[in-house]
A and B are shown apart, each in its own frame.
Chain A
Amino acid sequence: DTEVTQTPKHLVMGMTNKKSLKCEQHMGHRAMYWYKQKAKKPPELMFVYSYEKLSINESVPSRFSPECPNSSLLNLHLHALQPEDSALYLCASSPGLRYEQYFGPGTRLTVT
């Protein structure tokens, strides 16, 4: 089973709202990722967690705050977003860094 789940599927939020995206995997993978994808562009790395510790932050604005409560869960907390943050947010996991990554279905975020 190579399933990564993400909730919610769709999210509409105002610029003053606080919301969270959730990601879960039960494959025993030790690395988890957040990506942002705009239309007709490739995924763009935001954060990497390895063994539940933040390994890479690609200079993401502080209005995005990642959290890894345990080895199966990854959250992305959103606050004071801008309309240009509207995108598909993808979570992925892999057995370890450098190995194949499996993507979840994504959360389609619209900021109004």
Chain B
Amino acid sequence: QKEVEQNSGPLSVPEGAIASLNCTYSDRGSQSFFWYRQYSGKSPELIMFIYSNGDKEDGRFTAQLNKASQYVSLLIRDSQPSDSATYLCAVNMEYGNKLVFGAGTILRVKS
């Protein structure tokens, strides 16, 4: 079982729709969770972090965390073509105290 799992995609959504990106993790003791956006040839850009169960909203982005199900998700409302990128889920593992990335989900927003 991989430590952090994401559907590789590509996930295609029309402009203006909600994009839903999902991630599961194996270490039940993990406490901090992050979403990064990475454009081709660029470095990862932090877009959301969440530490507590529930929802956290920032502009068009909402991160959702369910520790009991070991599940974290990212919703992007009113998706724009500029949101087309790879989205990396990252989990700070309790053991080893290090950040582990999922393989990333490619999002394509079609105008």
- A-side interface residues, number (CB < 8 Å): 22
Are B44's CB and A98's CB within 8 A?
no
Is B97 touching A42 in the complex (CB atoms < 8 A)?
Answer: no
Say what secondary structure dominates the interface of chain A: loop
B46-75 to A contact mask, C-beta < 8 Å, 1/0: 100100000000000000000000000000
B46: which of A43, A97, A101, A105 is its contact (CB, 8 Å)? A101
* A40, chain B: closest CB distance, angstroms: 8
Surface stretch bound by A, among B14-22, B76-84, B98-106? B98-106
Q: Are B34 and A100 in contact (CB under 8 A)?
A: yes
Instruction: Report if A66 contacts B (CB, 8 A).
Output: no
B97 touches A43 (CB 8 A): no
Contact yes or no, B44 A100, CB < 8 A: no
- Which residues of chain B are near A90, meaning CB under 8 Å? 43-44
Q: Are A56 and B98 in contact (CB under 8 A)?
A: yes
CB atoms of B96 and A56 under 8 A apart: yes
A101 to B101, CA, bound (A): 12
Q: CA of A101 to CA of B92 in the docked complex: distance in angstroms? A: 10
A42 pairs with B104, CB closer than 8 A: yes
* A90-B43, A97-B97, A103-B36 given; 6 more Cβ-contact pairs under 8 Å: A41-B103, A42-B102, A42-B103, A45-B98, A100-B32, A104-B43
